[in-house]
């Protein structure tokens, strides 16, 4: 996937923190830090969406869940033992 260039204005305090992280060897350069920060935010947003989607879903009723587990167990048993 081709990457695109974007320009970001950051406060001097933020750049100082980024530069410290780079100087300590945690990141190769400012770009590496910013890419990492963007990836982290994207990952956190995806996790949040997943949690929200799970919260909207109605839980599986226990009898249906138990039946599904039994069927899975039987299928695995048949596959292993024939």
Residue 82 in this model has a pLDDT that exceeds 70:
no
Q: Two tokens at 61?
A: 């009723």
CA distance 5 to 34: 12
Query: Is pLDDT above 90 for 50?
Result: no
User: For residue range 4-41, what is the model confidence (pLDDT) as tens digits?
Assistant: 999 999 999 999 999 999 999 999 999 999 999 999 99
pTM of the model: 0.62
Q: Between 79 and 75, where is the model more confident?
A: 75
- Cα distances (angstroms) measured from residue 34 to each of 4, 19, 47, 66, 76: 14, 11, 20, 47, 47
Q: How far apart (Å, rounded) are the C-alpha atoms in residues 29 and 51?
A: 33
> What is the reported pLDDT for 21?
96
């Amino acid at each position: 996937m081709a990457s695109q260039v974007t320009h970001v204005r950051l406060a001097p305090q933020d750049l100082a923190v980024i530069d410290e992280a780079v100087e300590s060897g945690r990141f190769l350069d400012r770009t590496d830090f910013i890419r990492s920060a963007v990836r982290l935010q994207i990952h956190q947003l995806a996790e949040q969406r997943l949690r929200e989607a799970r919260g909207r879903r109605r839980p599986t009723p226990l009898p249906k869940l138990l039946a599904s587990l039994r069927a899975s167990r039987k299928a695995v048993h048949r596959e292993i033992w024939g």
